[in-house]
């Protein structure tokens, strides 16, 4: 959400930057740095909460390998369309959003079909990606980037909250008598 807010507030294209006549905005960069620091702090706090309630979990080599493959493919699903659109090949369809939606389906299959919410999120992203054909929002690099960034934020937030609810219902916490027994 931080990057989406940044993209909505500041110009993204060369023409927008020239027409706005702004140079380096120290306040904007400071706010971005503060937002990134708050994000990092929040991730550390959430991880600490999970460790306190459910204990330390070590990933197997296989889980680490698959995590790297899934994460790397997600990064490529964003960066390849980003690069193609940034160099001037802007299609009417938001290729970044369509690629991220397809990656979300792969992530859903990786996690397991009981995490059905990722399939729904992928369908919504795909529908929004092809909505650019109708000109909603305009088929420009800046709007495609904004739409893809908002999609990533919403997938992370909605998916994370639903995953948290599934996890907390499935695992006994430290307040459970099972977890307290020696």
Classify 173 as helix, strand or coil: coil
Can you give the residue range of the structural domain that contains 139?
2-180
Q: Are 54 and 173 in contact (CB under 8 A)?
A: yes
Q: pLDDT, tens digit, for every residue of 134-167?
A: 777 777 777 888 888 888 888 888 888 888 888 8
Provide the phi-psi class of 131: left if phi over 0, else alpha when psi is between -120 and 50, else beta: alpha
- Predicted TM-score (pTM) of the model is 0.71
Cα(133)–Cα(21) distance, integer angstroms? 31
- pLDDT of amino acid 144: 82
* pLDDT tens-place string over residues 14-71: 666 666 655 556 766 777 788 889 989 999 999 898 888 888 878 899 888 988 998 8
Count of domains in the chain? 1
Residue whose structure tokens are 């904004």? 146
């Amino acid at each position: 959400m931080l990057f989406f807010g940044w993209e909505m507030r500041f110009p993204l294209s060369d023409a927008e930057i020239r027409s706005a006549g702004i140079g380096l905005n120290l306040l904007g960069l400071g706010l971005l740095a503060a937002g990134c620091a708050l994000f990092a702090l929040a991730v550390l706090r959430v991880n600490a909460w999970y460790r306190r309630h459910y204990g330390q979990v070590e990933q197997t080599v296989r889980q680490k390998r698959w995590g790297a493959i899934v994460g790397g493919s997600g990064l490529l699903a964003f960066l390849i369309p980003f690069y193609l659109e940034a160099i001037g090949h802007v299609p009417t369809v938001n290729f970044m959003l369509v690629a991220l939606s397809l990656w979300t389906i792969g992530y859903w299959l990786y996690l397991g079909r009981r995490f059905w919410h990722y399939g729904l999120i992928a369908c919504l992203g795909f529908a929004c990606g092809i909505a650019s054909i109708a000109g909603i929002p305009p088929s420009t690099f800046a709007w495609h980037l904004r739409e893809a960034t908002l999609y990533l934020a919403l997938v992370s937030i909605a998916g994370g909250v639903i995953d948290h609810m599934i996890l907390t219902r499935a695992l006994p916490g430290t307040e459970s008598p099972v977890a307290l027994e020696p």
